Structure 1
């Protein structure tokens, strides 16, 4: 048999059939593998994308879906390349197929392989018997009818792949039939054709953050400001604030969640959750939920929020905690009012850092410069005064917006400055900065004025000495002492006919505020500055002091009004005589008290004469205490007597000065009062009475030594006798002066009677002359 003898058609048909079956097997195996991978990836992706939604989570992010799609694509390409294209491109030679058949049909005994290999057209040079080859070929053709090509294949891999792919395919078809929209949404999301989320039972919407508005006005409760999240789901809030997170859930077309939960993560690593509070009822188809407690109360750091309600979720909302601007420094510049500045040189009079209790002079121009830690936006500034009145001010900012300048033109009342700094984004401090500025008001001058040597009445020609003490915060501008006739005391005169005439003098005030002047009524009347004064009328003396205050009117202070009656010299002397009589009564009383003092000293002397030898220590101590007490009482009485006599002498001196100031010519009277009474009284006070007081003190010191104390008491008694003697002499002179005054009164009455008689005589003569003409 030649080497190129063709293969039996049966054998050729068997090999071709087997080759076709192998290729179909490869295709089905690859298709099932691809279907399994794609369907498994679809359902796995659907589970990863949708099941978290059912559990309250979120869909797979686009990046995760992209990664899943990339993995599936890579696997599909690998399967297609390796399992399908790679295997289909591999050659299937006849001898390999024959060997495969021989392996599964051992009864062929290698005949099929031998026939195929030895009958290949390109085979030559083999040493074999043609008869034998032909015999083998014939036996192989005869046995081919018993060959089953199906035994060659392992169907388990296809079955396993089909057991996975077919159910997945049927499930996918059922999913497509039952819910084509959900199937399309799943396919589009997994293939990145769409990012539309899965529908939820609940529908939550983020409303925003309610932030309380910080105002500079006390008690002003403004509605909170609703701050919405930006496109990046971020909102900026000030540190230390207590915002309120607000969301709403649709209630008409969606299921309303019972509770919504906020899951937060701070930048510091703190994690936690808080339940939101349902607010009110369903309004306009929505139910509101708020979170107004931790972690938002007293916000201290940035955080990320996720809100969950049923199967809906609001993710990755960011709160940035921003440090609000703070006023780090406050500088106060003051320029005083012009009347306080003297020459007005210089731009400022005081510049200092703000400190508690700062007080500023009235009328000053005050400039407050506040430094901020951050560039400022529009700040809220409120000035509040004690009387709730508004204060005008000017507000300006530096070029870099880091300084706030506040100008108060006319500072005239205590003011509280409240500032709420805000940055360019509207982030404000969580409490206003308050600065209290006290005011130093320019008080009116204080004026104390008295008339020296003038009583309640004056003569028309009197001199009125005036002593004044005037003080002011910033210096006295002028002091005016005026004398004005009083209309009310004019007798038998038309009150409206008396002109309003007053005379004034401007005394000079020294650095200590002391001023002295004299109102000479005689000269004022002679000079035409004052209307003629008539006895029976009255004048008013008043002082007025003013300072340089010029902000709102003038500061004028008036002294006590001294109302002085205008009397004749005789009337004035009569008044003075009554004063002398009162002083004589005081002197008589003082003499009686001095006698009592002398008796007390004599009693103390007799007490020292008593023998203390028979007394025990307690009785001796008690006796010494009694003696010391009596000595102290005697000393007090001596001091009182000295003060009383000094007062009498001062009153007599006032009488003398009043006579001098009223130009009453009574030289004899002045000499008798001054040299006869006043001067002796002063000598008594300065000499024997002062010596008596010292002696009583010595007696008190020597109470423990009876003998020594007795001797000192005797000396004190002798001094008391001397005081009594000299006081009696003064009293006798006052009695003589009283007798003299009585004589003067009789003479005055005689003169008055004579004047009346002369007037009556003149009237009678006029009457007789008139009778002659009748």
Structure 2
């Protein structure tokens, strides 16, 4: 009978065999995992290093330098040592006790129920002092031995890490073997370069040569037929004027073993300089890019030419470092230095005006005046008065050797001019006498070394012909009729090229039956003329007031009686004196002279017209309210339909969506129409209020105003209309916009439509109240008409009574 497990440390051989086999499996797993990791690192480093070393050559670059390859080799060695130390030797040297292995088996076979761990730990040799039943321990031991057949050691191991590493190693290793079989020379070159055994470069297929930069020759005449000059590189450096637009030219060998590139590409990077003229250069901004060169012509003498006539050579602003790549060949280390050419840093225009434009006529007539009357910087669109003497003063950024200058008129005819330089040759003066035609001036400055600006500096000077003043005049608060004691406010706006000398506003009486003189007539009016000369501000605006009562009292105008007329006209003149005078007359405002009663009657008729406009506006607002109410009822009338069956719902989804979109479009159209109507109502009410304001102002100016009438029209009608426009109508417009925005959300749109209907009702109530006020005013005006009629009848009766009494007195003497 076997010895008790509790006392002798006996462990079933089957359990011992299981644990020993598992221990060997763990060590083999560690070895395979480490070997695959080392192989993955080596193969990845090989292909990565090959890509970094060879792909730049294929793309026209250079091989990886020796220092970079050394760094890659050191990194790979360090990683391999780390993996071997930590993953291989470190894990192999770790002990694998039986209880740990048993616990590992128990974790993947929970059906053992802890029997294996218990049997292994309690049957460990030399273990004593445990208080347990030997019979129970033996029973557990036997159960663990019996269940050992159900244990699968392979389940303990996770194969995913090995598979992932194998998926990396296998393709990389297969590609390495294929490369070795297909191209052993390339494999050997790659291995020797990556292991620092060789520095032999990779072979190239193409061969490129640098030719130079073609630079166009620029003249003031802008001769497009001039042949460009070729500037060659010296020590891979060429100096070009800043702002030039040269063309880079190279050539590629097209015979022998050399392969002709399909395209050559220029890779460039700008080098900002301290004296750069553009903002990016001044800020130190470096720009880089690439551009393709285009083929030029065919193969000549075994070479194909390529040309670059765009960036970075177009409008060169900074120095540029660049290299050219064609297939796998490369022209490296070239540099274009941007040299600042002479430039016209400032252009001033000095003008000596003709005599009639001089600010001091006395000095102008005697010739005691400076060399110029105006000096300003040149601006595009500058125009000079005809007959002036013009001097252009060009300031250069550096001393000039000479300058190519061309001056021609707008009809391409040469214009005589003279030039002179300052002592330091930084200033060029160009003088044109008796400037009569629009002229173009072209200047190409050159420095002492012959470097010139790469584009002519062109300046256009136009001619200004003195035009008569432009006069606009209007009467403020005056209609077509005035009373004999009216005051006539006048506002005028007069504009002239060189300032207005005089502005006169005149009023001329015209007796009944006389014809109105035509505007601009030169015949003098035989009747008295009262004039005012208002002051003109710097904007050309002037205001004055013609008070007929004061003019008659002062004797400037004769007594005005009803049925007479007055003409109000403005005249403006400037100082032009070369060929006649420039005089501009405004339109003639013909005003009928009426009695205050007739003027009030005219104003009352205008009030009736405004009332009719208000009634029409109220009708339109009522239609607006009805349209909004109809829209609201449309929301209320739509009831949710019953839920159809699944088959019916699927069949009618497209039709339902189409109907919903059409319904929303119709609603949106109606809401937009309502918004337009609200805007029209607001504008119409604003116009009525403005017309009422004109009525009040006209009454004030004609001195027929009264406080009661002003309050009835202003406070009772005009001010409420303005408040309606500013508050409820503005609110209604906002609500209509909200309704349009909410189309599609029936509940929200219905609520907002209800608010809009309420606001429209409020607008109608307020407009109706204003209309009632205007009706009261009409009734008041009718009463006034009746009173005026009674007064007229009374006057006639008094006149008849006086006549009858006079007749009776005369009869007594007969």
TM-score w.r.t. length of structure 1: 0.47
Of structures 1 and 2, the larger Rg is shown by 1
